[in-house]
Amino acid sequence: MKTLKPHRKIQGSLSLPGDKSISHRAALLALMCGEPVRTHNYSDGADCASSLKAVEALGCKVEQDGANTLLILPAETLTTETAKIDCGNSGTTARLLAGILSGLDITAEISGDESLSQRPMKRIVEPLRELGARFKSVADGESDKEPSSLPLAILGGAHGDIEYRMPVASAQVKSAILFAACAGGGQAAIIEDVRTRDHSERMLQHFGATIETQHPRVELKEDERDPRKKTRTVLDDWKLRIVVKGNGKLSGGDVDIPGDISTAAFFFAAAAIGKGEVTIENLGLNPTRTAFLDHLKAIGCEVHVENRVTISEEPRGTVTVKGGKLKGRKISGALAAQLIDEIPIVAVMACFAEGATLIRDVAELRVKECDRLEALIENLRLIGAKVGSVEEDGIVIEAKGEMQPADFVSHDDHRIAMALSIASLFLAGESTIDNAECVAVSCPRFYEMLDSIKH
């Protein structure tokens, strides 16, 4: 148990560890690179360490190259024996690695911890099989049975072409398909109706892949009733189409990783609730990841961005958030998909806002490290908020006066633990939380950094 003491005055500046999503991709794509990959500000979280261990197990070497730089050296020959790779708690490692290995024809068995072994893998197995990949369940050994979870064996074969319309918004599934086609020499065209984070597309381009992002075609015609006007017709029924043509090789090179905006969300939320001010430098500002900053503005905060620059294809800058009088908001559809990792802290902020916050279309939260919707309902009720589920894909939250201290249950989920730790700052007394160490999955120094902005 960790004791969490209230502390309402929040102010300070931070520099954060590297973005998790970008770190994973830099490590895993090194398997296809002909030159070393040098990463600056690689994430220090346990999940990203799983990706480093995976590439080492396959023959790459990982070396420290200065205080904050890692050098990933390509293997002269990737392992030809069946590699056994433990992905720990990292779904990103498991899904993206499955795509790469199926294209490289490397036989491997992928496993994970108890939590990861319960998370769905059928969502990548189905499209990768369309590319020609072969899998079998390690548990029952049947190659003709479609594995739905870890552990699973990858048998290679992804050398075909695919046009795949994403049934659910998922950057991990999209990336697994793109990486498989890139490794296997085929072509993949991914159609997105809801835009997802595009770190994979940016890094593939940075490493020299042939990749194109297409937008819907638009036709302009003169208005029959008024020749001075034109009518606009969208000819395609999708939002984005991403096409990659693979040849099995990437160039490698330097990758400068900005601070993780999903981690920043917790510190910004502390400023928001406490009417304080927090500044974070070198923060990732990829436009597919900045919905949380827009959310802060929408609920009553000030957000200022300075020193914008793009390095290694990824925009970043200095962001300052000033808290204010918070209000409830409805979140659904594409916005819910863009905020999926930040929903736990969005829900916590709702407990300190005027009016109700309704969050819909987030069923994906039920298959994360835990059932995050149920974890939020359970814990936020403990502090006195009015919280309920909305069908199977949503939650509604409303404040009910001063929030009370509680004995929180983290469910071994790093984002739940961090969100509840922020809530504890603004309660009427001391709280506790079990297994606070699980924050190390994404941010081992979370509590140290949180202490630094308490004033």
- DSSP string covering 250-319, please? B--EEEEPPBPHHHHHHHHHHHHHHT-EEEEEEEE--TTTTHHHHHHHHTT-EEEEEEEEEETTEEEEEE
Taking alpha carbons only, the member of 46, 90, 39, 83 closest to residue 65 is 39
For residue 371, indicate whether it is catalytic. Answer: no
Would you say 323 and 275 are in contact if contact means Cβ atoms under 8 Å apart? yes
Phi, psi (rounded to 5 degrees) for 64: -75, 130
Catalytic residue among 86, 256, 341, 413: 341
Q: Distance between terminal CA atoms of the chain?
A: 24
Q: Which two tokens stand for residue 28?
A: 């895993």
Biggest CA pair distance of the chain: 72
Taking alpha carbons only, the member of 392, 385, 381 closest to residue 356 is 385
Taking alpha carbons only, the member of 80, 65, 78, 62 closest to residue 26 is 62
Nearest-angstrom CA–CA distance, 137 and 139: 5
Taking alpha carbons only, the member of 174, 181, 246, 236 closest to residue 210 is 246
**Residues annotated as part of the active site:** 341
